[in-house]
């Protein structure tokens, strides 16, 4: 079973996204910010293939997390999807240029998440 991580400071959003990913066949772990997510990635030792990342979080925001992850060759194959309230085109471009593979604006539906996963080849 593929493994995904939800990185969001909102416990409610982590629960919603975890349920959505579990329904489509992912084992899910969670982190409340980018720093915590980096620690989880180390613990999981290459098991995580997908991360859904919020932009606005304390300690390390989503954009900094994406940049940090993309600077480490060990995680080059991890698919990154920003899931955020940031709706400006400039921010979307920043995230994609930093290395995010997809961008979803909140509010979202299960169908939108599943469609983006299909686009990434992460869901049949």
pLDDT at residue number 12: 96
pLDDT at residue number 124: 73
Domain count, the chain: 1
- pTM here is 0.95
pLDDT by residue for the chain (124 residues), tens only, comes to 899 999 999 999 999 999 999 999 999 999 999 999 999 999 999 899 999 999 999 999 999 999 999 999 999 999 999 999 988 999 999 999 999 999 999 999 999 999 999 999 998 7
Query: Residue 41: inside a domain, yes or no?
Result: yes
**CATH (domain of 25):** 3.40.50.2300
Query: Residue 124: inside a domain, yes or no?
Result: no
> CA 81 to CA 65: how far, in whole Å?
12
Look up the domain containing 102 and give its range: 3-119
pLDDT at residue number 44: 94
> CA 2 to CA 66: how far, in whole Å?
20
Sheet with 27-31: list strands edge to edge. Answer: 27-31, 3-7, 48-53, 79-84, 102-105
């Amino acid at each position: 079973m593929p493994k995904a991580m939800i990185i969001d400071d909102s416990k409610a959003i982590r629960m919603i996204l975890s349920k959505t990913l579990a329904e489509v066949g992912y084992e899910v772990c969670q982190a409340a910010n980018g720093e915590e997510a980096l620690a989880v990635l180390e613990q999981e030792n290459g098991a995580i293939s997908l991360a859904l990342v919020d932009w606005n979080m304390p300690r390390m925001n989503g954009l900094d997390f994406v940049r940090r992850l993309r600077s480490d060759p060990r995680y080059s194959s991890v698919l990154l999807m920003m899931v955020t309230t940031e709706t400006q085109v400039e921010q979307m471009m920043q995230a994609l240029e930093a290395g995010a593979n997809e961008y979803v604006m909140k509010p979202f539906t299960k169908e939108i998440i599943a469609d983006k996963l299909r686009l990434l080849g992460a869901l049949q």
